[in-house]
Amino acid sequence: MFQKSIISLAALTAMAAPAFAETNIPFALDWKFEGPSAPYFLAVDNGTFAEKDLSVEISEGAGSLDAIPKVATGAFPLGFADINSLMRFLDQNPGAPVTAIMMIYDAPPFAVVGRKSLGIEEPADLEGKVLGAPPPDGAWAQFPIFAAQTGLDMDAITVEPVGFPTREPMLAAGEVAAVTGFSFSSTLNLKRLGVEEDDLSVLLMTDYGVDLYGNAIIVNTDFASENPEVVTAFLEAIGEGWKDAIADPDAAIDALIARNPAADAGIEKERLEMAISDNVNTAYVQENGFGGIDDERMANAIEQTKTVYEFTNAPDASLYFDSSYLPEGGFSLE
């Protein structure tokens, strides 16, 4: 059974704070301070969190799995992580006090990004080539499902474990023919490294039968049960942050650059807009609201996961997503 680690002082302070006072919320991101994280900083700068008596401190992460153990141990009350990796974590750590409560990437950005000049234009082209894949990468975690859906022979692909910092440089240098990653991350990193956009082949897994969800807001369930009003208010602020970022992406990028002055504002704006159009503000979200999930699709996602991962315990969707902190019909992004 899952054992909690020592709770950090910051999280302990947050959990002890009464709902009617300003509550300190450490929030663990999945990745660095880049375009898709701008809505959270915009919610800080616009006073959206403060209006709800929340003081939010945002920390960068090291991959889409990174926030899960941080939240499960109580080191962070809330975080942002891949829900598919959460399923596996909960299977391997039954009883861990963590679940997803708000879907952000309705369409996951999991992708294989290759170069046409290196022979990659469609999934079948990966056979006989070298694929660079960081072991903690969320897209790599789902690659076996992509392979199964497209009929790829994984034994015919040479997989090169790479680090996140070297992933795109290795592809730019032609040391690998393709990499796994988030579409908006790898694509724009490669453009920044001088790879022509016309040479890039972006294979979005969702376009090839992968029916999974992407990253979601996750919560420590002990914290949530003790502070339900705080969790609800936090999600309301997140919804407003994304809505404001869609309405004014320049303001969102200004908020981001204030925390990451070395970032290229133009590239990060393009990255944010890619995330909005491809992953966040999907046709489903426009019709059904932002933040929730479709039960039938979630059931199908579990079935797809079962084809490449052997669950120790019977999978249970109710363990992976709790919609009770969301308004009925989700949030509007208009």
pTM: 0.88
SS3 assignment, position 15: helix
Average pLDDT over residues 244-259: 98
Which pLDDT score is estimated for 2? 54
Contact indicator for 79, 71 with CB cutoff of 8 Å: yes
For residue 320, pLDDT over 70 is answered with yes
Structural tokens at position 223 = 């914290």
Q: Which long-range contacts (CB under 8 A, 24 or more apart) does 233-237 make?
A: 233/52, 233/53, 233/54, 234/25, 234/49, 234/52, 234/54, 234/56, 234/78, 235/101, 235/102, 235/291, 235/325, 235/326, 236/52, 236/331, 237/43, 237/48, 237/49, 237/51, 237/52, 237/54, 237/56
DSSP structure string for 85-127: HHHHHHHHSTT-SEEEEEES-SS--EEEEEEGGGT-SSGGGGT
Biggest alpha carbon–alpha carbon distance for the chain: 60
Which pLDDT score is estimated for 316? 97
pLDDT digits (tens, 9 = 90+) for 83-100: 999 999 999 999 999 999
For residue 20, pLDDT over 60 is answered with no
| % of the chain residues with pLDDT over 90 | 89
For residue 258, pLDDT over 60 is answered with yes
Contact indicator for 183, 64 with CB cutoff of 8 Å: no
Which pLDDT score is estimated for 9? 37
Which pLDDT score is estimated for 10? 43
For residue 219, pLDDT over 90 is answered with yes
* CB count in 10 Å sphere of residue 207: 10
The region that residue 134 occupies, defined by phi over 0 for left and psi between -120 and 50 for alpha, beta otherwise, is beta
Q: Dihedral of CA 120/123/129/135: which sign?
A: positive
pLDDT digits (tens, 9 = 90+) for 127-176: 999 999 999 888 998 999 999 999 999 999 999 999 999 999 999 999 99
Which pLDDT score is estimated for 63? 82
Which pLDDT score is estimated for 11? 45
Which pLDDT score is estimated for 21? 65
Quick one: which H or E segment has residue 28? Answer: strand 23-28
Contact indicator for 188, 271 with CB cutoff of 8 Å: yes
Q: What is the mean pLDDT of the chain?
A: 93
Of the candidates 215, 63, 87, which has an alpha carbon nearest to the alpha carbon of residue 135? 63
Gap between the Cα atoms of 14 and 260, Å rounded: 26
What is the band of 7 on the pLDDT scale with cuts at 50, 70, 90? very low
Average pLDDT over residues 69-81: 97
For residue 101, pLDDT over 80 is answered with yes
Q: Dihedral of CA 196/247/182/297: which sign?
A: negative
The region that residue 201 occupies, defined by phi over 0 for left and psi between -120 and 50 for alpha, beta otherwise, is beta
Which pLDDT score is estimated for 22? 85
For residue 292, pLDDT over 90 is answered with yes
For residue 323, pLDDT over 70 is answered with yes
For residue 75, pLDDT over 80 is answered with yes
